Structure 1
Amino acid sequence: MTQPAPITRISPLAWALLAALALVWGSSFLSNRAALAGAGVLTVVTFRVAGGAVALWLWVALRRLPLPRDPRLLIRFAIMGALNNAIPFSLIVWGQKHIDSGLAAILNASTAIFGVLVAAAVFSDERLTPPRLLGVAIGFAGVVIAIGPAALTGFSLASAGQWAVIGASFSYGFAGAYARSAIRGLAPEVAAAGMLTGGLFWLAPLMLTIEGVPSLDYAPSVWAGMIWLALGCSALAYLIYYRILALAGAGNLSLVTLLIPPVAILAGWAVYGERLGPNAFAGFAVLALGLAILNRKPRDAARPSR
């Protein structure tokens, strides 16, 4: 899909939508923990992807958006569904079995760093300039500080959970690069619905093989978590995401990366009493600095043309 040209100013509506998207995606970490109280990892992720796909296809039908006719898109949707949904969602949810919601959100913010590195390796117009290299280096330093020395020097389920979330960010980076050409020209809602459907292609067989047919006998809190993951964190979030993209541009949209961790940290503290160590907050501060450098616009690009 094509992306609009960068926009330097953010309207009040775009700011409101950015805040809404941060609240929705920030709450996904809380919903993951709620759902995991009664369902397996693959069951949680499959419910999220399936529910989100159904909701978005209903939206596409109601708006009578044109459907793609190229059969090659089926393979592309399957690849996108793996890279952007099945793999990262599964890794994040599994990781949250062993680490707090806030820490998972902080580590997930490294998505932007991996996106820059993958794009630089794949596209000739995304080269790593000295400022971007500095931003990447500082961002990685923040990740190292956040995960702490124990994850680097020894193995535990907690360290494995942290690496799982970082692996999800790596997958997101490849998804962003692949989407640049694979689903260009599609209506955003159609692309999102197709991608979620492609994720279901991988997840449903794995869930049935490993975890079996879901019992559906879940506590209300588990159902609430899974329903919100599907309808809010997937379907609604994608609609808000593409609206912001049209209003404010891709550069400004990336600000949501910095807004999600505080939401997840506060939610985890308020609901589950999670308390992160000082290294997590220090790591997020350093990571945020690296992301700010990556998103900084050159002076010449920020000046209006005369």
Structure 2
Amino acid sequence: MTPQNPNLARELSLLLALATLWGSSYTFIKIGVETIPPVTLIAARTLIAGAILLAVLRHRQVRLPSDRQTWRRFFLQACLNSVIPFTLIAWAEQSVDAGLAVILNSATPIFTFLLTVLITRHEQATTRKLFGVIAGLAGICLVIGVEAIGGLGESLMAQLAIIAATICYAGAAIFGKNFRGLDPAVPAAGSLISGAVILLPVSLVVDRPWELSPSAASILALLALSAFSTALAFAIYFRLVQTLGSVGTTSQAYLRVPIGVAIGIVFLGERLSSTAWIGLACVIAGVAAMTMPRRSEYRAAQSAGNR
């Protein structure tokens, strides 16, 4: 199924915003796990972000669904999109650099593309989307540089954890289409609340958070991670899944790479390779190839939007 999108420019702007919000999350996580254990960091992240979205929904007088079936979907979405991947990435970043986490996690569109082709077949696997996958991956390698690839042998378990998180994100992008028709903030809030319900008891038992002494930097990173890289990002994410489709939405991972690396330059002292600009061009080409509908589809979407 190919998504219709009568306002492509607006949706691509939101795609860029989502990439920025999630690109910054790796630095926030890196700072957060310095003094806050991974499970507690993610439990607090989901709780704070869920509470923010609940407040927004209440202000807008939008109610969460009350039926069990929808909440079962919220809990499954939480496992795929927050509980498992958030925790795995936070645990991995105790020993893996943020830049390396970005490149490993940016493979989400690859797995989404493969899942849609081999299993769900709900989106058309066109040659152009395949080109987008290849171009984006090539751009990622150029932006991060050969040096980062050379570090894949170190901390193998942590890197495999990030790959597992990447596969979870791919599944979440596809499963997120089950919430079609709901306000984008509703599944975002529902899944985050569900994630907090799952993680808080684990945090209390495993980490005994009342005994922790987190630094001010870690606390600020947690707050920014929760409010911007989670609450706001999730609301945008669920909207884009409906308008750009699962593969199109996960293609923000290509933009997330140069953004995440740029943030690393400023705050973590990382350096870009000399091929970064070429890589960035490949990244943009990959995103465009995966998100732009054919002219006939765009005209059909415009006609539908004018009715």
1:194 maps to: 190
Shift in CA distance, 184/235, structure 1 to aligned 2, threshold 3 Å: same
Aligned residues: 295
1:35 maps to: 32
1:160 aligned to which of 149, 157, 160: 157
Shift in CA distance, 103/276, structure 1 to aligned 2, threshold 3 Å: farther
1:10 maps to: 9
Shift in CA distance, 86/283, structure 1 to aligned 2, threshold 3 Å: farther
Distance 1:103 1:288 in 2: 20
Residue 73 of structure 1: CA displacement?
1.8
Distance 2:160 2:257 in 1: 17
Residue 161 of structure 1: CA displacement?
2.9
1:24 maps to: 21
1:148 and 2:144 matched: no
Shift in CA distance, 21/129, structure 1 to aligned 2, threshold 3 Å: closer
2:171 maps to: 174
1:71 and 2:68 matched: yes
Distance 1:8 1:64 in 2: 26
Distance 1:280 1:163 in 2: 25
1:93 maps to: 90
Shift in CA distance, 204/160, structure 1 to aligned 2, threshold 3 Å: same
2:231 aligned to which of 218, 231, 235: 235
Distance 1:216 1:264 in 2: 29
Distance 2:151 2:267 in 1: 27
- RMSD, aligned α-carbons: 3.4
Residue 282 of structure 1: CA displacement?
8.3
Distance 2:15 2:59 in 1: 25
Contact 1:35 1:223 in 2 (8 A): yes
Distance 1:234 1:179 in 2: 16
Q: Give 5+ residue unaligned stretches, structure 1.
A: none
Range moving further from structure 2, 291-300 or 279-288? 279-288
1:270 maps to: 266
Residue 64 of structure 1: CA displacement?
0.9
Amino acid in structure 1 at the alignment position of 2:35: G
How much identity, in percent, do the aligned residues show? 30
Residue 90 of structure 1: CA displacement?
1.2
1:53 and 2:50 matched: yes
Shift in CA distance, 19/131, structure 1 to aligned 2, threshold 3 Å: closer
Residue 108 of structure 1: CA displacement?
2.1
Amino acid in structure 2 at the alignment position of 1:168: A
